[in-house]
Structure 1
Amino acid sequence: MKPWREVAVPHQDVLEGTFQQSEFAADITAVSTGKASREYQDAVAFFDRTFITEGMALLLTQVAQRLAGKGGEPVVQLQTAFGGGKTHTMLAVYHLATRKCTLSELAGVSALVDKAGLMAVPQARVAVLDGTAYAPGQPWQRGGQTIKTIWGELAWQLGGTEAFTLVAQADATGTSPGKDVLRALLEKYAPCVVLIDELVAYVRQFPESQAISGGSYDSNLSFVQALTEAVKLVPRAIVLASLPESDLEAGSQRGVAALRALEKTFGRVQALWKPVATEEAFEIVRRRLFEPVRDEKTRETVCRAFADLYIAEGVKLPAETQERRYCDRLLQAYPIHPEVFDRLYEDWTTIDGFQRTRGVLKLMAKVIYRLWKDDNKDLLIMPGSLPLHDGNSRNELTYYLPAGWDAVIERDIDGERAETTALESREPRFGQVGAARRIARTIFLGSAPSSVVSKAAVRGIDRAHIILGCLQPGQTSSVFADALNRLADRLHYLNASGDKSQDATRFWFDTRANLRREMEDRKRRFDDKTEVRGRIAEAVKKAVGGVSFFDGVHIFTPHADVPDDTALRLVILPPEAWYTKDETRPASEAVLDTIAKNGAKPRYRGNRLIFLAADHGALARVSDVARIVLAWASIVDDVKEGRLNIDLLQKNQAEKELKSAEDVLPRAVRECYKWLLCPMQDTPTDQKPGVEAFVLNATGSAAGAEIERVCTDNELVIATWSPVHLRAKLKELYWKGGQNTANAAAFFEDTLRYLYMPRLKSREVLAKAIQTGADSRDFFGTAYGQTDGKFEGFAFGSGSVVFDDTLLLIEPEAALAYEEANRPKPQPSDSGSGQTPTSPAAKPEYPIPGDLPVGGVSVPAGKPNAPTPAKVKSFFGAADVPAATAKMRLVQLADEIVSVLASDPNAQIRLTVEISADFPDGATDTVKRAISENARSLNLKTADWE
């Protein structure tokens, strides 16, 4: 595919920039006096560059029929918006009537004549009454004749001195000639055409209730009425008059009154005029600005590629691009994209003063000249192609806009110092296709008129039309969509309605700086050490504050304020203690400092701390987002408190921007605080501990769940421990050098202190490991103290264990040896009795029911005729409980005695615990006070000291 410049070549005057703005303004007086440029003066050249629109074709047909005496309307009123082609159409009628060539030489005219059913169109006399060419109070000369009125001018142009004599008296007195005089004039010089242009501009000059040389206001209105009545009576005469559509074009109140009066005069005759349609404007502009396209195949290839691209993009583009006829529009408008015409004709022509045809031609001529000079290689001239950095092109648009738009364009849209240019320099993927500037130009073209037209119901241009104004074959819409989102967050004069990421959002530029500029100014006011850090801390707290895995979370807390206890704690380091793979020192020093110190005192339980640090590369973004949140929050607060006056749209924008920034901050914090740091020490002999780093996944699960996963997967914190690992650690560190026991409570205390010990989540983790290990003879034996080589409450593989401060864990071989040494020895057997005596240990502690004494005599169980023994009804039990194993023994008594007795629902159970303690040297006041207070709180029946 070739760029437009290789297929459609501009006319020489456009190409060289030698055109004059005035050349685009059709001047019917200049043509009638032979002073116009060739493309307007010469009939053949005029029709070569003129596209005959539907409205012009209808009018030329009416004129041809009228001049041939075959019908047609006698009076036609041309009334369209400023620049709607009225004068150009009248020139077409002028050349048709005054041609000095055959009809076949006038492009497009022969077909119209054939369609009208005529063999030919007679040449005719033409009178041109241009309201801007005459002064009502100042006579003018025609040959040797002085003329004072427009009816005198009409007669002179139709028949010279001879014709002027018919209206000479009326011209001298300034009174309107009657209908009969005008009828005689038209009949004598028929076929004839009367072209009246800018009549309002002439009539509004007459002073009220005063006659001057040109007559009076009323006499001129009477002339117009008489002329329209007369021409209806002459079959081969026609009058064409152009009137402005708007009051603004009419000028003063006097002009508006004249317009209303003339509209009533001409209003009795149906106007045969249809304004230029957008599709017709394609051809008008192309014929005037470009040479005929000779490479039709390339044009079709390019347009087809655009159409295929639009279908592929689907809903990302406007619905009309999915229709087959959009390809036809591309072909008709080539090399200019239809979206350029749509924006100019639908938006810019709503501005008073912007001419539908002349304004577009003037603009596009300057645009094409600059693009040609800049060697533009776009496939089509698109909204995103407009060279707004060029002063001539920019001025052609800003001329119709209020003051202040130059600053908007230079700052936000196009130019060396524009934000869009800076963004493209930083982002190569945007710079390769000029995405930022193309987006901004498209938004400007589609939204600037809404700043002028107060009746605009909806401001701005939607996302789909913005992408349409930029996207070309070989490109993807996602690049432009990303650029749009970036610009919406950066530009000072760009506004958006609603959520910027939604398709229904509309974007527009305005000369008033948006609230973003106010926000940018406020961003710089906040202090890093206090306000910004506090806002980041709040976001971190929301992200990880609810982590149930830790007993405490400390955010930016000095090490003196982190408790030194048994709780497992997560410490989030402050921003200055950041971490990267290449530079670990700031965070590592903070970690080692915290585990070593608790304020001025040393920290004893440093193995209870896990740390979270910020990534240095993401800190700047987090800080910036926090500032944005603070800035928007201050704006919203100022609006609520009445300290800042803005409109409702901006108020809603501020609230939405605040919510958007508050939504972004947690994500930024997650991406920044991603380094989980754990102090480590491999062996007790290591001179200095180290710090190991683990990366958190910033996406997916919540921050708390991710931290828990990393801690568990990497065994930074052990939530479930096997007795195998407990035995291994005991064997490594405790059961050696002749020592075969270890205190369980001391072991747990060591896990809190030393980095080479496992970091257990809680004391319960160790308790469960001990309980599991106690059920087996493979791991350790247990006891509750050791006195003179004897273990109190010794057990080996017997199950129930109470984890208290006296619990000992005994090396398995030592436990087995102790058990063998203390196993009861069997008694020697009595060979004479023939019976094996029962050992004292084997003797039952309680009588077997069948052997209970009856009447003082023991009756062996199972003897015939033995009386049924009476049921026992009471049980009394007492036991001495060693103080060292009191907790275990009381639990055993409760499980094995009290719970069995309670299994009978009819049993009535009473428990009495007696405690007796002797102090040979006397009890201390501390013990006495503590026991007395505890006795009262536990409601002991008696608690006496002697």
Structure 2
Amino acid sequence: MKPWREIAVPHHDVLSGTFQQSEFAADITAVHMKRASLEYQDAAPFFERTYITEGMRLLLTQVAQRLAGKGGEPVIQLQTAFGGGKTHTMLAVYHLASRECELSQMAGIPELIDRAGLMDVPKARVAVIDGTDRAPGQPRMEGKQEIRTLWGELAWQLGKAEAFELVKDADASGTSPGKDVLRTLLERYSPCVVLIDELQAYVRQFPEGQQLSGGTYDSNLSFIQALTEAVKLVPTAIVLASLPESEIEAGSQRGVAALRALEKTFGRVQALWKPVATEEAFEIVRRRLFEPVRDAAARDAVCRAFADAYVAEGAKLPSETQERRYYDRLVQAYPIHPEVFDRLYEDWTTIDGFQRTRGVLKLMAKVIYRLWKDDNKDLMVLPGTLPLYDGSSRSELTYYLPAGWDAVIDRDIDGDRAETTELENKEPRFGQLHAARRVARTIFLGSAPSSVVHQSGIRGLDRARILLGCLQPGQASSNYTDALNRLSDRLHYLNSSGDRTQDATRYWFDTRANLRREMEDRKRRYNDETDVRGMIAEGMKRVVGAGSFFDGTHIFTPHGDVPDDSGLRLVVLPPKIWHSRDEVRIAEEAVLDYIRNNGLKPRYRGNRLLFLAADHGALARLNDAARIVLAWGSIVEDIKQGRLNVDLLQQRQAEKELQTAQDVLPRAIRECFKWLLCPGQENATDPKPHVEAFALNTSGGSLGSEIERVCLDNELVITTWSPIHLRAKLKELYWRPNEPAAKAIAFWEDTLRYLYLPRLKDREVLTKAIRNGAASRDFFGTAYGQNGEVFEGFHLGMGDVQLDDTLLLIELEAAKTFEEANRPKPESEPPKPHEEPLPRKDPPAKDDERSRQDPPPGQPKPRSFHGTADIPPATAKMRMIQLAEEIVSLLMTDPNAQVRVTVEIAADFPDGAGDQIKRAVSENARSLGLKIADWE
């Protein structure tokens, strides 16, 4: 596809940059005085570049019919907004009436005459009364004749000195001629056209109650009334008068009063004028700025490509782009995109002073001139194409805006120092398309007028319309969407409403720096070691959560404040102690420092610590996210306290931005703290511990659950342990030929301390492993004490054991040997005749209970039982359990028995008991309810 510059060539005055000067020549008086440029002075060139709009067609038809004596309105008032095309329309009437060429040489006129049902339009005399060209107190000389009034000017233009004789006395006295005199004047010199432009500018100059050479205020109003009445009586005469629509154009209060009086005078005739429609503006601009398109096929191919691209994007673009007729709009507006016209005519023409036709022409002429000079290769001229970096083009727009917009454009929108240019230089995918600048230009064109005209309701452009102003066929819309998101985060004068992740969000520029600039200034104030670190710590508390996997989580805590106990603890290292695949030294040294030291004391239980470290690559983004939360938080607080004066919209924006920043911070923490560091040691003889790093999945569930998963999958923490692994460690490190037993509690303490031992989640994991192993005869035996080669409380194959300070784990072969040596020998001789059998421990069966308990007849029954036992302190727990099961439980089998159990404890301390032991025993005795608990 060809760019617009190869299909639509601008006119010479546009290419040479002289368009503005020629536009100023578009003046009705300049044409009448033969001082205008060729394209305005001669009828043929004028109509060649003129598009006959619907309003102009109706007006020219009325004029043609009136001049031909076939009807038509005698008086027509042209009253539209500033720049509505009144002057151009009056020029068309002027050339139609006073042409010096044939009608066939005037483009568009023959068809108009045919549609009006006329064979020809007679030439007519034309009188031009320009209110800005005359002064009420300054007569004009025509040779020796002095012309003082409007009616004198009218007569002179229609018939020179001969016609002036009809109104000579009225001109000299400054009084309005009567209707009959004016009727005679018009009849004698008809067919005629009277063009009156800017009349209120003339009338408003008359002082109240004073007469000037041009008459008085009232005499001029009387003249206009008489003229409108007289022209009705002359079938081939017509009066066209243009009046401004707004009071601002009328000027002072005197001008407004003159405008209202003239409106009342002309109000008898309904205006036939219709303002220029946006679609008509397409053709007006095209004809005035460009030569006729010679390669229609190339133009149609480009427009079809745009239409197809819009359909492919679907809901991402405004709904009208999905309609078939949008292709027709593209063709009509080519090479300027319809969106440019929509923004100019819907938004910019609401500004007082911006002319609907001439203002658009002047702007687009400068735009086309700069783009042509810069060899622009866009397929069409879109809103995103506007060269706001060019001072002339920019001034044409900022002239109508309040002060301050030049700074906005230089800082945020376009230019060598703009944020958009800097972003494109850093991001090649944006730079190739100038995506950031195109997005900013589009937003500016569609939102800047709202800084002047405060329209109620919606402000700015939505994403769909921004995309429409930038996208060209063959380009990915995501580039512009991404650029918009990036600009939303960094531009100082760009405002937005709603959730920026939603399509309904609207964007606009304003001369007031948005709160984002204040935020950017504030976030540089905060210190990394204090403010930023504290904010990250608060966010980390929410991210890690209060899970039950670790007994404690210590965020940015120095090693002196991390307890040295049996609890499994996660230590989150400060951000400055980061880790990366290429640099492990910083974090590794910190981890080893933690497991060796507990403040000024050595750490004894270093195998209970795991560590979480930040990734160096994501640290900058995390610090920035924390600074943004701090900055927005301070702004919201200052607004609440009245220290920052903002409007309601900005207050809501600040609160919304704070919430967004608070939502982003946990995600940034999650993505940054991705390294789980685990200290370890190969074996007991390895002199140097090492640190192993495990990468966490940052896109999964919560951080706590992800750490738990990594710990379990890699056996960094063991929650379920098999007896076979316990036996293997005991065999490797604890059992010796002459020492076949090891204390279970010593093994537990060692797992807390030594990095080469497994890291059990808690003591219960070891207890379950011991019970499972003790219940089997395949792993080890248990005992609760050892006296020489005798194991007290020995068991092999009994799992009901307690992990305490006395529990011994015995090597399997040694346990079997001890069991065999202590097995009771079978009795080889029968008992002696009168020897009583040993009492049995089991309770008697019910069928022989009475026969076994009852003594022989005549012998009295025993009525009480007393028993004492000396229990070794080392096996007190086991022996007391045996007494309870084998003695006390048997006594309790008799329901009538009254059983009392008294425990007597005596302890002697040759050197005296320590205060700690005394205090602990006394407190336990009270809580257990001992009757006697005395110290001597």
Give the TM-score normalised by structure 2: 0.95
Q: Tell me whether 197-206 or 307-316 shows the greater mean CA deviation.
A: 307-316
The question of 1:851 aligning with 2:848 is answered: yes
Alignment of 1:233-632 (within 5 A): 233-632=233-632
Letter of the 1:80 counterpart:
T
Is the alpha carbon distance of 1:399 and 1:504 closer, same or farther for their aligned partners in structure 2, counting shifts above 3 Å? same
Any idea what SS the aligned residue of 2:814 has? helix
Q: State the distance in 2 between where 1:171 and 1:633 align.
A: 77
Is the alpha carbon distance of 1:693 and 1:125 closer, same or farther for their aligned partners in structure 2, counting shifts above 3 Å? same
Is the alpha carbon distance of 1:920 and 1:831 closer, same or farther for their aligned partners in structure 2, counting shifts above 3 Å? closer
The question of 1:940 aligning with 2:930 is answered: yes
Any idea what SS the aligned residue of 2:578 has? coil
Contact 1:67 1:124 in 2 (8 A): yes
Contact 1:718 1:759 in 2 (8 A): yes
Is the alpha carbon distance of 1:560 and 1:157 closer, same or farther for their aligned partners in structure 2, counting shifts above 3 Å? same
Alpha-carbon distance, 1:238 to partner = 1.0
Letter of the 2:389 counterpart:
H
Alpha-carbon distance, 1:737 to partner = 4.7
Is the alpha carbon distance of 1:132 and 1:849 closer, same or farther for their aligned partners in structure 2, counting shifts above 3 Å? closer
Alpha-carbon distance, 1:799 to partner = 2.1
Alpha-carbon distance, 1:805 to partner = 1.1
Contact 1:180 1:230 in 2 (8 A): yes
Q: State the distance in 2 between where 1:888 and 1:464 align.
A: 82
Q: State the distance in 1 between where 2:175 and 2:818 align.
A: 146
Alignment of 1:138-149 (within 5 A): 138-149=138-149
Is the alpha carbon distance of 1:839 and 1:275 closer, same or farther for their aligned partners in structure 2, counting shifts above 3 Å? farther
Letter of the 1:265 counterpart:
T
Q: 1:65-117 CA deviation, whole Å, 9 max, x = no partner?
A: 11111111111100111111001001111111112322222111111111111
Name the structure 2 match of 1:727.
727
Alignment of 1:879-898 (within 5 A): 882-888=872-878, 890=880
Is the alpha carbon distance of 1:873 and 1:800 closer, same or farther for their aligned partners in structure 2, counting shifts above 3 Å? farther
Is the alpha carbon distance of 1:127 and 1:928 closer, same or farther for their aligned partners in structure 2, counting shifts above 3 Å? closer
Q: 1:307-352 CA deviation, whole Å, 9 max, x = no partner?
A: 1222222222222222222111111111111111111111111111
Q: State the distance in 2 between where 1:79 and 1:384 align.
A: 34
Is the alpha carbon distance of 1:857 and 1:932 closer, same or farther for their aligned partners in structure 2, counting shifts above 3 Å? closer
Contact 1:389 1:415 in 2 (8 A): yes
Q: State the distance in 1 between where 2:275 and 2:898 align.
A: 110
Contact 2:344 2:360 in 1 (8 A): yes
Contact 1:76 1:239 in 2 (8 A): yes
Is the alpha carbon distance of 1:898 and 1:38 closer, same or farther for their aligned partners in structure 2, counting shifts above 3 Å? farther
The question of 1:163 aligning with 2:163 is answered: yes
Contact 2:22 2:37 in 1 (8 A): no
Is the alpha carbon distance of 1:460 and 1:845 closer, same or farther for their aligned partners in structure 2, counting shifts above 3 Å? closer
Alpha-carbon distance, 1:171 to partner = 1.0
Contact 2:775 2:797 in 1 (8 A): yes
Alpha-carbon distance, 1:821 to partner = 1.9
Letter of the 1:884 counterpart:
A
Alpha-carbon distance, 1:916 to partner = 3.2
Q: State the distance in 2 between where 1:858 and 1:45 align.
A: 149
Q: Tell me whether 288-297 or 511-520 shows the greater mean CA deviation.
A: 511-520
Contact 1:24 1:358 in 2 (8 A): no
Alpha-carbon distance, 1:717 to partner = 1.0
Is the alpha carbon distance of 1:441 and 1:911 closer, same or farther for their aligned partners in structure 2, counting shifts above 3 Å? farther
Alpha-carbon distance, 1:294 to partner = 1.5
Letter of the 2:391 counterpart:
G
Is the alpha carbon distance of 1:224 and 1:814 closer, same or farther for their aligned partners in structure 2, counting shifts above 3 Å? same
Q: State the distance in 1 between where 2:392 and 2:630 align.
A: 42
Name the structure 1 match of 2:197.
197
Alpha-carbon distance, 1:466 to partner = 1.1
Q: State the distance in 1 between where 2:529 and 2:628 align.
A: 16
Is the alpha carbon distance of 1:301 and 1:226 closer, same or farther for their aligned partners in structure 2, counting shifts above 3 Å? same
Is the alpha carbon distance of 1:99 and 1:889 closer, same or farther for their aligned partners in structure 2, counting shifts above 3 Å? farther
Q: State the distance in 2 between where 1:933 and 1:56 align.
A: 110
Contact 1:363 1:393 in 2 (8 A): yes
Is the alpha carbon distance of 1:821 and 1:248 closer, same or farther for their aligned partners in structure 2, counting shifts above 3 Å? same
Alpha-carbon distance, 1:832 to partner = 14
Q: State the distance in 1 between where 2:574 and 2:712 align.
A: 25
Q: State the distance in 1 between where 2:428 and 2:836 align.
A: 99
Alpha-carbon distance, 1:661 to partner = 1.3
Letter of the 1:326 counterpart:
Y
Q: 1:814-839 CA deviation, whole Å, 9 max, x = no partner?
A: 22222222222222366999xxx999
Contact 1:801 1:888 in 2 (8 A): no
Alpha-carbon distance, 1:745 to partner = 0.4
Alpha-carbon distance, 1:401 to partner = 1.1
Q: State the distance in 1 between where 2:434 and 2:933 align.
A: 92
Name the structure 1 match of 2:905.
916
Any idea what SS the aligned residue of 1:810 has? strand
Gaps of 5+ in 1: 860-866
Q: Tell me whether 375-384 or 520-529 shows the greater mean CA deviation.
A: 520-529
Letter of the 1:943 counterpart:
A
Alignment of 1:38-117 (within 5 A): 38-117=38-117
Alpha-carbon distance, 1:848 to partner = 3.4
Q: State the distance in 2 between where 1:649 and 1:856 align.
A: 98
Any idea what SS the aligned residue of 2:287 has? helix
Alpha-carbon distance, 1:747 to partner = 0.3
Q: State the distance in 2 between where 1:919 and 1:761 align.
A: 40
Alpha-carbon distance, 1:277 to partner = 0.5
Q: Tell me whether 877-886 or 398-407 shows the greater mean CA deviation.
A: 877-886
Contact 1:579 1:616 in 2 (8 A): yes
Any idea what SS the aligned residue of 1:243 has? strand
Contact 1:23 1:37 in 2 (8 A): no
Letter of the 2:479 counterpart:
V
Any idea what SS the aligned residue of 1:614 has? strand
Letter of the 1:775 counterpart:
A
Letter of the 1:848 counterpart:
A
Alpha-carbon distance, 1:913 to partner = 4.2
Q: State the distance in 2 between where 1:902 and 1:168 align.
A: 150
Alignment of 1:822-861 (within 5 A): 822-828=822-828, 845-852=842-849, 854=851
Aligned residues: 931
Name the structure 2 match of 1:799.
799
Q: State the distance in 1 between where 2:914 and 2:326 align.
A: 101
Q: State the distance in 2 between where 1:139 and 1:177 align.
A: 18
Q: State the distance in 2 between where 1:483 and 1:688 align.
A: 52
RMSD: 2.7
Contact 1:551 1:568 in 2 (8 A): yes
Q: 1:221-269 CA deviation, whole Å, 9 max, x = no partner?
A: 1111111111111111111100011111111111111111101111111
Q: Tell me whether 21-30 or 684-693 shows the greater mean CA deviation.
A: 21-30
Q: State the distance in 2 between where 1:131 and 1:315 align.
A: 53
The question of 1:931 aligning with 2:921 is answered: yes
Contact 1:802 1:887 in 2 (8 A): no
Name the structure 2 match of 1:174.
174
Q: 1:431-473 CA deviation, whole Å, 9 max, x = no partner?
A: 1111111111111111111111134543322222111111111
Give the TM-score normalised by structure 1: 0.94
Q: 1:268-292 CA deviation, whole Å, 9 max, x = no partner?
A: 1100010000111011000000111
Q: State the distance in 1 between where 2:71 and 2:761 align.
A: 105
Name the structure 2 match of 1:33.
33
